[in-house]
Amino acid sequence: MRFLRRSLVGLFLLAVTTGLMAYAGALVWGALETRWANDPQSRPARERVFAANVVTIEPQTIAPVLTAFGEVRSRRTLELRASAGGDVIWLSDNFEEGGQVTAGETLVRIDPVEAESALATARADLAEAEGDLRDAERALVLAADEIVAAEDQARLRSNALTRQQDLLERGVGSTAAVETAELAASSANQAILSRKQAEASAEARVDQAKTALERRKIAVADAERRLADTEITAGFDGVLSGVTLVEGGLVSAGESLAKLIDPTAVEVAFRVSTSQYTRLLSETGKLIGADVTASIDILGVDLEASGKISRESAAVGEGQTGRLIFARLDTAPGFRPGDFVSVRISEPPLERVARLPATAIDAANTVLVVSEEDRLEVAEVQLLRREGDDVIVRARGLRGREVVSERTPLLGAGIKIRPIRRGSDGAIEAPPEPEMLTLDPERRAKLVAFVEGNQFMPAEAKARVLAQLKEDTVPARVVERIEGRMGG
């Protein structure tokens, strides 16, 4: 009996539990049917509209700017070397690293004792040579006088021979006297030859004396030059660099002492690619004198210098590419040889081109153009230059059209957008005023009832929408959104 009683109690509890579960399921199913009956079965699909920045294509004439990097070099550098060796006895106060010197200023003096002694010896030799020349010239004059005297004596001997011959013909003279007169005349002629030979020797001595004199003059000039080489002067106004000499030091001939650099005569050397190089050529294939601006960024402060392209390197160089171009800078305050600078080169102007942000064009050189219905279309452009964050393109047939300035993967052909335009000052233009509607009381009541009965709408949003619905005019977008949720 006890077993039967417990079995009946278990069956009773199982039946009660099953009934309660069935009742609960019926309640849940009824609630779901009620919810499904109140909500529409399907909602109309709405097109998604994206906001996008747009710019207008306005063809114009633009001078592209080519950017490169280069090094400042000096066009006027003088290496100061010691032409004479010796002890340094004096240095200028400006003979130091970075010292400013002027043209003709004496910078270094080397002990001139040996040079002065050599100059004195050369001058003494010069005076001796001048004396020898004077002696040779006097000897030449005397030799000429002796020739004149010998010629007079030969004439007298010739007259005596003629007289003896006349006496012999008349039978008065003798043959011995005639022979004696002939010997005397021959001796006189021989004396003339001797005197002429002496004159030639005197002339040769004069020539030798003149040659010796010229040599002595050269020796004196050389000694004076060596004495002048003991003083080193500045060839032009400039700044000293690489100074290693100290007073009292010993220098040898040809030793480098410093470099004199003209800070006002500088140029910049920069390398460009071959394609960039072709843009700087004229129609005849010659390098144009394009304007150049070199700048150095020093802690946010830019030093700039302007100039023009002057020449190009004769060869590319082993292991290098492109072209090395030199530009002469007009005025470059603060620039020094060795500075690393950025260079901007003005290229020849391009006509009928437009400047766009680099993000407006893709790898296929296409842009997204905005149609009249604010839908996007794909158009091709010709990419000409890239300048930093901008590109220069030639867009045929797109004059005055708007293109998307910042492309994203969400944007493509056929997508509708809400254009965001910017004014000339870069500020975003204010959006147009929203369309407003005047609602009749019945339509307004339906909208208010739907919003109040929406249990899933946040309280703040519900209050804001109800405040808009209580106004005399309601934004059309708000009405359209609510009626879309209502299904009518």
- Same domain, residue pair 98 and 137: no
- DSSP, collapsed to helix, strand or coil, labels residue 73 as strand
CA 119/CA 216 separation, integer angstroms: 11
140 and 178, same domain (yes or no) = yes
Give residue 476's domain range.
Answer: 436-486
Q: Are 215 and 317 within one domain?
A: no
pLDDT tens-place string over residues 196-241: 787 788 788 888 888 888 988 898 888 888 888 888 888 888 888 8
Angle at 245 between CA 242 and CA 247, to 5 degrees: 150
What are the φ and ψ backbone dihedral angles of 188, each rounded to 5 degrees?
Answer: -65, -45
Strand ranges, E, within 151-265: 231-233, 238-241, 250-251, 256-261
Are the C-beta atoms of residues 400 and 56 closer than 8 Å to each other? yes
What total of structural domains would you count in the chain? 4
285 sits in the region (left: phi over 0; alpha: psi -120 to 50; else beta) called left
Structure tokens, 269: 């050397």
Q: Give me the pLDDT at residue 38, please.
A: 58
- The pLDDT of residue 292 is 92
Q: How far apart are CA 118 and CA 112, in angstroms?
A: 10
DSSP notation for 375-429: BEEEEE-EEEEEETTEEEEE-TT-TT-EEESS--TT--TT-BEEEE-B-TTSPBP
Predicted confidence (pLDDT) per residue in 48-100, tens digit: 888 888 999 989 999 898 989 999 998 888 888 888 888 888 888 888 888 88
The pLDDT of residue 140:
80
Q: Is residue 6 part of a domain?
A: no
Q: Counting runs of H as helices and runs of E as strands, what totals does the chain give?
A: 7, 25
The DSSP code for 320 is -
DSSP for residue 157: H
Which pLDDT band, with edges at 50, 70 and 90, does 334 fall under? confident
User: Confidence class of residue 190 from pLDDT cuts 50, 70 and 90?
Assistant: confident
365 shares its domain with 443: no
Average pLDDT over residues 365-394: 89
Angle formed by the axes of helices 476-486 and 441-453, to 10°?
60
C-alpha R_g of the chain: 57
What are residue 45's DSSP bridge partners?
none
pLDDT band at 3 (very low <50, low <70, confident <90, very high): low
Among 228, 259, 281, the domain-final residue is: 228
**Are residues 285 and 342 both part of a single domain?**
yes
Hey, which residues does 379 pair with through a beta bridge?
A: 367
For the record, the structure tokens of 475 come out as: 């934004």
Residue 241 inside a domain? The answer is no
114 to 84, 88, 107: CA distances (angstroms) = 10, 13, 20
Establish if 16 belongs to a structural domain: no
Q: Strands 390-394 and 382-387, how do they pair?
A: antiparallel
Same domain for 409 and 369, yes or no, is yes
Closest C-alpha among 300, 236, 313 to residue 267: 313
Quick one: which of 123, 305, 349 has its CA closest to 227? 123
pLDDT band, residue 422 (cuts 50/70/90)? confident
Q: Is residue 20 part of a domain?
A: no
> In terms of residues, how long is the chain?
488
**Alpha-carbon gap, residue 66 to 387, rounded angstroms:** 8
Task: Mention every residue, 6+ apart, whose C-beta is less than 8 A from residue 338.
Answer: 71, 72
Note the pLDDT of residue 71: 92
- Domain-located, residue 466: yes
Q: Do 164 and 257 belong to one domain?
A: no
* Euclidean distance between CA atoms 354 and 59, whole angstroms: 5
Say if residue 127 is in the same domain as residue 223: yes
Residues in CB range of 371: below 8 A, 6 or more apart: 377
Structure tokens at 207: 């020539």
Indicate whether 199 and 133 sit together in one domain.
Answer: yes
Do residues 92 and 167 both lie within one domain? Answer: no
Closest C-alpha among 74, 72, 30 to residue 339: 72
Question: How high is the mean pLDDT of the chain?
Answer: 82
Q: What is the CATH number of the domain that holds 124?
A: 1.10.287.620
Q: Is residue 383 part of a domain?
A: yes
Q: Are residues 207 and 310 in the same domain?
A: no
Query: HSE-up of 412 (CA within 13 Å, CB side)?
Result: 2
> Is residue 2 one of the residues assigned to a domain?
no
Whole-angstrom distance, CA of residue 181 vs CA of residue 159: 9
Task: Note the pLDDT tens digit of each residue in 98-152.
Answer: 888 888 888 888 888 888 888 888 888 888 888 888 888 888 888 787 778 777 7
* Domain end call among 348, 367, 400: 348
pLDDT top residue among 14 and 404:
404
- CA-based angle 88:93:96, to the nearest 5? 80
- Answer yes or no: is pLDDT of 300 > 70: no
Cα–chain-centroid distance for residue 325?
8
Q: Of 297, 331, 348, which one is at a domain's C-terminal end?
A: 348
On whether residue 245 sits in a domain, the answer given is no
Q: Residues of 29-66 as b/e, b for ≥16 C-beta within 10 angstroms?
A: eeeeeeeeeeeeeeeeeeeeeeebbbbebebeebebeb
Residues 207 and 279 in one domain: no
Q: Is 473 helix (H, G, I), strand (E, B) or coil?
A: strand
Beginning with the edge strand found earlier in the chain, give each strand of the sheet holding 77-81 in spatial order: 77-81, 256-261, 238-241, 100-101
The Cα 268–Cα 3 span in angstroms is 113
